[in-house]
Chain A
C-alpha cells in the first residue's frame, strides 16, 4: 500500500512534467498571407429599350413600333401664326362715285359698289375713311344729311353725316371709320349687297336747289369680316420653335440618318365656324443653328411647298423619298422657322365666310426617324466623382495587384472606345485605365457584325479588355477622387475617314451583355479575418 501511495504521489508530478514539455504558444496570433480572389463583379445585359428608357426623355422621345424598331421622335412642336393683323380688301386703292342731292325732295338711296364687288354681310373696321366733297351750285344755302345705315358708330348709333353749304360754296368732309361696325342693312336690296348704301336728303330755302357730292371710300381695313370675299393675299407670315436638343448636339456632323419623316399639321384656328378656304403658298421649313447655319427642308423635285387647308386642316408628310428630310434631321438645328404666304379664298369663289385678325394657323411639327442611321466617331467626356470612404480606401491599399476583365458581348452595332483617367482632388491625373501597360490605348468594345447593305445585325461581337493594376496603381487608385471618362462611339464602320458611312438598324431588342470580373491579390491580415 505504501508503494501504491508513493506511485500515486509521483504520477501527478509526472503529469505536470509532461505538460511542461509542451511548447504552448503564449498567444494565438493569426498569420497573414496573400490570397488571390477571382470575383465576378457584374454581369448585366441591357437592351436598347433599357438604355433609352423611352418614358424618361423630353426633347427626343422614343417609342416602339409594331416591328420592334425604335422610332426616335421629336416632341410635338407647335407654333401659331396670325393669318393677318388686319384684312385689307381694298389694298391701297380707293373707290369713288358722284351723285346729286336735290333739296326739299324725299331722301334718296345711293349705292356705292365695293371694290371687286365684294359682298360684305358684317365687318369691323380697323381703319377706313369716307370722304365727301360737296358743292352747292345754287343761290341758296343748303343743309343736307347723309345716313349710312349699314355703319354703326362705336357708340352703336347710326352714322349720319350732316353738312351746311352756303350758296355757290364747297365743303369737304372726311370721316374716320375706325372701330365702326358694318352690317348689311336689312332693307338693302339683294342686288345691292355688293354696295355701301347711303341715304341722302337736303333742305334749302329755294326750291330746285341741289348739291353735287363726290364720295370716296379708301383705306378700308377690317379686323373681321363676313361675306363673300375675293382671293386675297394676307401676306407672308413667319413663326419659329426651339427644339431643345440637349446632348444631341454632340452628334452634329456625325449622324447619318437613313429614314426620317416630318409630320406637319397646319390647322386653321378660329372662333367662327364658316371659315374661308385657306392656302399656304411657298411654305418653307428652315432649320437654324445658333451659330447662324441654316438648312432648308426641300422637296426632291424642287417644287415649292404649297397646299390648301381642307376643312381648316392639312397634314403634310415629308420623308426621305420626297425630300431631304434625313439631311435636315441630321443637321440637328437648334430651332426651326416656318414661313409661308397666306391666301384667303384661293379659289376666288363666292362662298360666304368669316375671317378675323384673331384667326391663326397652328403648326404642329414632329420629326421622327426610324432607328436606321450611322454615327461617325463622336466623343463624350464626363467627370465622375469617386465617392469612397476612408475605410474603403484603406482596404483598397491592402490590394497587392488586380486584373480587371471586361467581357462585352455586343449585339448593338456600335463601337465604343473608353478611356478613364483617374485624378486626385486637384484633377491632376494619377493614371489612365487602358488595355495595355503603357497607358495609351483605349479600352475598345466592338459593335456587332452587320450586313453593310441592309444594316441588319448578323452576329454579336465579343470583346475582352483586361486592365492590369500593379500595387503602385492600386495605391494611386486608393487616392483617386475623380474619374474622367472619355468615350468615343460610332456605328459599325462609320469612321471619320468614311464619307458615306453605312447605316445600321437598331431594334429595341438589341442587347449587350457586359461581364466584369477580375482577380484581386489581397493581403489578408488578422484585422481582415
Chain B
C-alpha cells in the first residue's frame, strides 16, 4: 500500500479543504442533516456509517474503514451538501390553495377553509431549515493496533420556528370569549456553530470462535465555535377574553441572542455602530467544548450493535449578547386607555438588555443501532444487502435535535459490481415525523459518490409534500 501519509500530502489536503470550503457530511443531533449515504438510509447510521461518516455519530465506527487506511472529503470531485427544510403542516397543494389566489386575486376563505387551515396547525406549526457541511474531514488508520485518528471541521446552521397555534386561531377566528390562548407552543431556535474535532477509535479483535468477533471504542473531542445564536428559552404567555371582552393574561418570555462581530449587529440599547465583516472565518460569538463516546460490537453473522452518546458539552456565548424578556400581567379592558395599549405592546415586543454571557448545550443524543450485512451467498437477492435499525434519543430541542425519539430502518443494496448502491429507508419520530428516504451510491475505487433525499415524498408526490431534502457528496478512500 502506497504511503500517502507524508506531510506534503496532508498539507495539501487541509489547504484544499479550507480554500474551497467544501461541504461535507456532518452529523448533527438526532434529526439533523447528515451525509448523503446516511440520508439515503433514512438516517439509519449508528451501525452502518463507517470511517469518517461516523464522525459525530459513533466514533467507535471510525476504525471500521474496511480496506482503506485513509479517508477524507473535500470539495473535489463533488461538494457534499446536506440540506433539509420544510414544515410539518403545509404542503405545496395547501400553499397553492391558500396563498396562490384565484384568478390573480385573493382567495376569500369560507368558514370551512378557515377551519381546515386552522386544523393544519393543531398538531404543530413548525418551520425548520437545517444546513450542514464540513470544511474538512480526514481519517487515518495506520494499523489496527495504533487505532484510527481523525480530524474534522464541521459546520451546522439551522433553525426551527414553531408558530403558536393560538396566533393562527386568533387571526382566523378572532378572540372568542372564555377561550384561553396559550402561546407556550411557540418555539424558536437558530444557530450556526462549527466543531473542530479530533477523534480516536480502536478496534479489538476477539477470538474467531467467539460469538463476539470485534469490539470497537471511540471518542471525539470538539472545540465548538458559535457564530450566532438566537433563541427563545421560555414562553409562558397566554391571553383570555373575559365576559366583558376584557383581555387578560400573562406575559412570560425569555430569549437570548449572540452574534459574531462579523455580522455587525447593533441592538437598540447599543450605542456603538458595528461594521459588518461577514465571512467564513469570523471571530466566534461563543466557545465551548464537547465530546462523543461510542462503542460498537461486531457479532458473528455480521451483526453489528452500536451505542453512542454524542455532543456532550456546552457553549458559552459572550459576544454581542442580548437578553430579551417580557413579563407581567396583561390587561386590556379599555381600548381608549393608551397606557394599557402601550403596556400590551411592551408585553409582546418585550425589552432587551445587555448581559455578560449565557450558555447553551450541545445537541446531545443517545444513539443505538443494529446493523446486519448479508453477503452475496447469504442473500436472497443478488449482490449484498446491508440492513440497519436505529434508535436516536435527543436530550434537548436545539436545532437538529429533538427530544422526541426517532426510530428508523434503512437498507443498502448493491445488486452487482457495476450497479450503484441503492439505498432506502423510513424514519419515524424526531423533528421529521415520517420520512421515506432514497439514495444512490457509486464507488469508483478511490472515490465514492452519494446522492440522496431523506424525504422521497417530495419526488413521488411533490405537491402534497411538506419538506424538501437534498444531500450529495463524495469521499476519497485510500
Contact = CB atoms under 8 A, between A and B. Distances in A.
Interface of A: 1, 3-4, 7-8, 11, 15, 18, 21-33, 35-44, 405, 407, 515, 517-519, 525-526
A4 B418 CA distance: 10
B467 to A, nearest CB: 12
A35 B173 contact: yes
A344 B291 CA distance: 117
Interface of B: 78, 92-93, 95-96, 98-101, 104-109, 113-114, 171-177, 241, 244-247, 332-337, 418, 420, 440, 442, 444, 449, 451, 458-459, 462-463, 470, 472
8 contacts: A3-B442, A21-B462, A25-B95, A25-B100, A38-B245, A42-B336, A515-B333, A518-B245
A34 to B, nearest CB: 8
Given A33-B109, A33-B113, A405-B245, 9 more contacts: A3-B418, A11-B451, A27-B101, A29-B107, A33-B172, A40-B332, A41-B336, A42-B335, A525-B106
Contacts of A7: 420, 440, 442, 449
> Which 6 A-B pairs have CB atoms at the shortest separation, nearest pair first?
A29-B101, A517-B245, A33-B109, A25-B100, A43-B333, A36-B174
A43 B106 contact: no
A517 B244 contact: yes
Contacts of B172: 33, 35
B241 A38 contact: yes
B345 to A, nearest CB: 16
Contacts of A24: 92
Contact of B458 (A18, A29, A33, A42): A18
Nearest to A525: B106
Contacts of A18: 458-459, 462
Contacts of B246: 40, 43, 515, 517
A255 to B, nearest CB: 33
B171 A25 contact: no
A32 B108 CA distance: 5
A515 B334 CA distance: 8
A33 B449 contact: no
Given A38-B175, A40-B334, A4 B96 contact: no
Contact of A31 (B93, B108, B244, B458): B108
Contacts of A526: 106
A15 B78 CA distance: 16
B334 A43 contact: yes
Nearest to A22: B462
B105 A29 contact: yes
Contacts of B109: 31-33
B106 A32 contact: yes
Contact of A30 (B96, B106, B335, B337): B106
Contacts of A517: 244-246
Contacts of B104: 27, 29
A5 to B, nearest CB: 10
A406 to B, nearest CB: 11
Nearest to A1: B444
A407 B174 contact: no
B173 to A, nearest CB: 7
Nearest to A527: B106
A3 to B, nearest CB: 7
B335 A40 contact: yes
Given A31-B99, A32-B108, A23 B245 contact: no
A248 to B, nearest CB: 30
B244 A407 contact: yes
Contacts of B106: 29-32, 525-526
Contacts of B171: 35
A317 to B, nearest CB: 46
B96 A25 contact: yes
Contacts of B333: 40, 43, 515
B114 to A, nearest CB: 6
Contacts of A8: 78, 449
Contact of A40 (B105, B244, B440): B244
B351 to A, nearest CB: 25
A487 to B, nearest CB: 21
Chain B CB within 10 A, most for which of A15, A18, A35, A43: A43
Contacts of A41: 334-336
A469 to B, nearest CB: 16
Contacts of B332: 40
Contacts of A27: 101, 104
Contacts of B459: 18, 21
Given A3-B418, A30-B106, A44-B334, A25 B99 contact: yes
A106 to B, nearest CB: 102
A14 to B, nearest CB: 9
A3 B451 CA distance: 15
Given A24-B92, A37-B175, A40-B333, A30 B99 contact: yes
Contacts of A33: 108-109, 113-114, 172
B449 A38 contact: no
Contacts of A407: 244
A465 to B, nearest CB: 13
